[in-house]
Structure 1
Amino acid sequence: MTPYHRGELIAQQRAGLLDEAAHVSVLINDEMPRAGRAFLAEQPMLVVGAVDRNGAPWATLLTGEPGFITVTGRSTITVAAAPAATDPLHDVLAGPARVGLIAIEPGTRRRIRMNGTARPASDGLRIELAQIYPNCPKYIQRRVPVRDDVPPGVPRLGTRLTAGEMGFINATDTFFVATADPEGNADASHRGGNPGFLRALSPTRLRWPDYVGNSMFNTFGNLEVNPRAGLLLPDWSTGTLTHLTGTAVVDWDPAHAAAVPGAQRLVDFTVERVVRIDHASPLRWTEPEYSRFNPLPARAGNQ
């Protein structure tokens, strides 16, 4: 038996990493380990990915004081937070929803990934987990949070990026990707690199390199069978969250990847909808210490 679905197996085979993926599959559990319980209790944020009623994936950020994520059973967590009314996942998480989760601690470069089903609870969400597994610390920029409770702004809704949003994207060092299989089983993943690794090529087109990872190909596996994807781009200094949904295509041509330092593959993302909410998160973060694993950004001419 394998924990991977058909799309993940296809992506692993295309990458020539079926054996490696089979080896690391032992890390995928359906019960929260003791270390995971302690880790989650310390976290002030949780990334959530899910699919809306139109099949569009979105990713968002839930926050709270440490302890707002609690492990209440072998494979159950409660989250004392829910998306605000203006969040693109507000209506989705107001009822049962299949979710992908990442709890990430930039200060120590630790993270844990989880997939399961969320249901609304009196103080937030109750989530039954089906898959729980650690991820390596690569490409996480070290930061430490402080709180600054500024009221969120009015959302900017659109179908194209503004010049300011494109400039922010071209300078970012971290974002999150939500994908799902055709049945709506969602996944959320982290992407990081030096500023310039993610490029806004136009108001509706982004590109980023895929670096060496854990060989599971959860994101790419979903894209093999469902090209829709959602991105979350946090502004670490202001708490502004930029949510994008659209479609993503993986470029498996090694000649194209060779033009970008460190890239194994390239991903092209087409923007369909934009939701930007200024000061959506109360967390502000210190200046980053970039990961030593980050390849140098490619020259602009190679993007």
Structure 2
Amino acid sequence: MATDYHRGERAVQDRARLTSQAAHSLGGIGDAIPPVAAAFLAEQPMIIVGGADAAGRIWCSQLTGDPGFLSAPDPHTLTIDALPLAEDPLADLLGEPARVGMIAIEPASRRRMRINGRSTPVPGGLRVLPDQVIANCPKYIQKRDYRILRDPNSRRREDDRAVIRGTALTPDQQRTLRAADTFFVATADERGNTDASHRGGNPGFVEVSSPTVLRWPDYVGNAMFLTLGNLELHPVAGLLVPGWDNGTSLHLSGTTRTLWDGDEIARIPGAQRLVEFTVTDVVEIPDAVPLRWSAPQSSRFNPPVQHPTSAPGTPAHPHTGKGVEPCASPST
């Protein structure tokens, strides 16, 4: 992994006919944490982390703490003063040296940045040496504010959590996904270099086709295609659907295929492509984190959602999607 595109990313850029825009966006990939990024990280209560377990499944999770739990003591080091719960699907991976992809996101300001590199466990947390540090644009981020639950009695004890594991989505989990306006996705190239990214839209932008099949649109970005480029080489992914209001973490692992042509794409406003995700493993952890977030203020860039029961051309959400244009800084 370096400050250049790999062959999967270039293949997707070529197929999308966006190689020129991708070349321009390449300037947003560095290998060091600049001071402005270090200051941003120090203000965050959450970072999303992705990686592959011993079975080759990719998972996406979140680590949280009081602001300051993320720090960059120098441009080539990120320290994280937090570890996942024992039930977390990344707990074993992060207990040893690993390739990780991360994204720090601040919903209140719609800012985000990605750091991909190599993590090593240290007492009480992780030390990460970045290979890639990537600025990202604010499109499709729903604005939210947070609070941290301070009363230990207001959260379940670890041994009281009823963790749900399975190989298909329960009816409640399907409802959660249909109502979601945000999820995070982790992918990796064929050598294990991992990336974590954000996907957002109006509720309903994730289509639940069955208990084991999801689809979501790939909207206009900045032509880097870091996620789709990884999937071109290694079509395995991990999803995290955060419970913004209750602290639940819904983790999914599975396989993917990218759909490029046809009427299915045309029926979804704003879709440039579709990603189909087949669920192989599910882990739902209630009360996984102490963060609680406010109701969202939807991004003005979210395209409308066309539900299957709506008449053609009739948006099922009041947002119009006006103003959708390429990001001013690199995206996925």
Same fold judged by TM-score > 0.5? yes
Partner of 1:96: 97
Partner of 2:226: 218
Take 2:30 and 2:232, find their aligned partners in 1: how far apart are those partners? Answer: 24
Q: Are 1:101 and 1:188, in contact at CA under 8 Å, matched by a contact in 2? A: yes
Q: 1:276 to 1:2 in 2, by over 3 A?
A: closer
Identity over aligned pairs, percent:
53
Take 1:146 and 1:211, find their aligned partners in 2: how far apart are those partners? Answer: 30
Take 2:76 and 2:263, find their aligned partners in 1: how far apart are those partners? Answer: 43
Take 1:75 and 1:252, find their aligned partners in 2: how far apart are those partners? Answer: 38
Can you list the C-alpha shifts for 1:69-128, whole angstroms capped at 9, x where unaligned? Answer: 000222111000011110000000000010000000000000011100000011200000
Partner of 1:181: 189
Which residue identity does 1:225 align to in structure 2? L
Which residue identity does 1:162 align to in structure 2? T
Can you list the C-alpha shifts for 1:227-284, whole angstroms capped at 9, x where unaligned? Answer: 1111000110101010000001110115431110111111110000000001101101
SS at match of 1:194: coil
**2:288 aligned with 1:280:** yes
Number of residues paired by the alignment? 303
- What are the within-5 Å matches in structure 2 for residues 37-76 of structure 1? 37-76=38-77
Partner of 2:317: none
User: Deviation of residue 2 (structure 1)?
Assistant: 6.5
**Match among 237, 240, 253 for residue 245 of structure 2:** 237
TM-score normalised by structure 2 residue count: 0.89
**Match among 162, 171, 190 for residue 170 of structure 2:** 162
Take 1:244 and 1:171, find their aligned partners in 2: how far apart are those partners? Answer: 16
Take 1:239 and 1:296, find their aligned partners in 2: how far apart are those partners? Answer: 27
Which residue identity does 1:65 align to in structure 2? D
- After superposing on structure 2, the runs of 4+ consecutive aligned residues of structure 1 that deviate more than 2 Å are 300-303
Take 1:110 and 1:227, find their aligned partners in 2: how far apart are those partners? Answer: 28
Take 1:268 and 1:57, find their aligned partners in 2: how far apart are those partners? Answer: 16
TM-score normalised by structure 1 residue count: 0.97
User: Deviation of residue 133 (structure 1)?
Assistant: 1.3
Which residue identity does 2:98 align to in structure 1? A
Take 1:165 and 1:214, find their aligned partners in 2: how far apart are those partners? Answer: 31
Stretches of structure 2 lacking an aligned partner (at least 5 in a row): 313-332
Take 2:214 and 2:87, find their aligned partners in 1: how far apart are those partners? Answer: 24
Take 2:3 and 2:67, find their aligned partners in 1: how far apart are those partners? Answer: 35
Q: CA RMSD in A?
A: 1.4
Stretches of structure 1 lacking an aligned partner (at least 5 in a row): none
